[in-house]
Amino acid sequence: AEIEQLVDTIVVLAINEKYAGYITIADEIKEDAKQAIDQLHSLKIQTVMLSGDKQAVVDKVARALGIDQAFGDLLPDGKVEKVQGYKNEGKRIAFVGDGVNDAPVVALADAGIAMGGLGSDATIETADIVIQNDQPSKITAAIKIGRITKNIVWQNITIAMVVKVIVLVLGAGGVANLWEAVIADVGVALLAILNAVRIQKINLD
């Protein structure tokens, strides 16, 4: 019973109907999983583990990785209920999954992330983001890219609105003519493009 609490699966072996031993099977923690959790915490993101494995196994993994909360013995519907509960509390949820049973909860999350190399087709098709190389640390990079992209979009909107308002006021006052308005419009479009290109040079480490 003690062994059953520490491993995912036990296979009992028998020879000529006599007990010969057992084999324990457990998932291996990815090398950069701890790094990924630490990076998420550095971004002030709370981490929660939802798993169908035994609670004792889930707790052990959560302690090793530093995960904030961990729930085991969950069926697919149980995962959906947990995520829906967090959403009802007003929290924004990003869910990372790779199994076929994760597809419903990936679809429910505000941002569904699938691990592409090992993920099922259903989960990959449902996900908003696919991590192709199955490195958990890339999740943080995806979040950073999303945040930077959002900031750049708002910067471009602000720049465009300010320039257009200025040109509109100058045009109404007879200070700016039609050609100057066209040049200003083209100029702000080019400025927005150059601002967006900055993301390629931003360090995501």
Where is average pLDDT lowest: 44-53, 115-124, 154-163, 180-189?
Answer: 115-124
Q: Are 139 and 95 in contact (CB under 8 A)?
A: no
Would you say residue 98 has pLDDT above 80? no
Would you say residue 69 has pLDDT above 90? yes
Please, which pLDDT band fits residue 2 given cuts at 50, 70 and 90? very low
Q: Which pLDDT score, from 0 to 100, does residue 1 have?
A: 44
Identify the residue with better confidence: 4 or 12: 12
Per-residue pLDDT of 16-40, as tens digits, reads 989 999 888 777 788 888 999 999 9
- Looking only at the bridges linking them, the beta strands covering 9-15 and 18-25 are antiparallel
3-state secondary structure of 15: strand
DSSP letters for 122-181: HHHHH-SEEETT--THHHHHHHHHHHHHHHHHHHHHHHHHHHHHHHHHHHHTTSS-HHHH
Identify the residue with better confidence: 46 or 201: 46
Distance (Å) of CA 133 to CA 40, 117, 140, 146, 177 = 18, 6, 14, 19, 54
pTM of the entire predicted model: 0.72
Identify the residue with better confidence: 11 or 122: 11
CA atoms of 119 and 79, how far apart (whole Å): 17
Name which of 128, 139, 132, 89 is nearest 105 in CA terms: 128
3-state secondary structure of 182: helix
Name which of 133, 132, 96, 131 is nearest 111 in CA terms: 96
CA atoms of 73 and 57, how far apart (whole Å): 10
DSSP 30: P
Over residues 187-204, mean pLDDT:
84
